[in-house]
């Protein structure tokens, strides 16, 4: 486990439960990946949508956290929209989260999830309330 992954897992234990690996993080972009695992699948060996949404929510939430205005304590997801485009039956999925809006009361983050071949698997847009 790399240092960034360990730091995120200490604050958000669900990331460890999914065995997510954080690759890089800045206010402009957060990257993480999740390995295909049979325990995270649905019928036909496809990575479950809930696993993909868990990845996107955590990566997007971390991106929102990195964009908090001074004096804020955290964020909470108040809205999320997911579009699934392709099934993943092996390898890894790679999430890239970028802020679309960073305000005083809300932060909106767009997270794209790709397979190992670079094909778009899902796109999640979430609105985070600033706490």
pLDDT of amino acid 13: 93
Q: pLDDT band for position 1 (50/70/90)?
A: confident
65-86 confidence digits (pLDDT tens): 999 999 999 999 999 999 999 9
- pLDDT attached to residue 56: 97
Per-residue pLDDT tens over the stretch 4-44: 999 999 999 999 999 999 999 999 999 999 999 999 999 99
Quick check: helix, strand or coil at residue 73?
coil
- What's the mean pLDDT when you consider all of the chain? 97
> How many domains does the structure of the chain reveal?
1
pTM comes to 0.95
Distances (CA, A) of 27 to 42, 62, 85, 89, 101: 33, 9, 27, 31, 12
Over range 58-65, report the average pLDDT: 97
Domain that holds residue 61: 3-130
CATH number at residue 30: 3.10.129.10
């Amino acid at each position: 486990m790399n240092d960034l992954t360990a730091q995120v897992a200490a604050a958000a234990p669900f990331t460890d439960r999914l065995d997510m690996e954080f690759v890089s993080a800045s206010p402009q972009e957060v990257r993480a990946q999740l390995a295909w695992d049979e325990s995270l699948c649905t019928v036909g060996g496809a990575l479950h949508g809930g696993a993909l949404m868990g990845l996107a929510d955590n990566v997007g939430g971390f991106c929102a956290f990195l964009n908090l205005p001074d004096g804020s304590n955290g964020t909470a997801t108040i809205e999320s929209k997911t579009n699934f485009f392709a099934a993943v039956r092996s390898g890894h999925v790679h999430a890239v989260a970028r802020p679309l809006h960073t305000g005083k009361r809300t932060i909106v983050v767009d997270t794209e999830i790709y397979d190992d071949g670079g094909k778009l698997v899902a796109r999640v847009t979430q609105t985070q309330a600033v706490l």
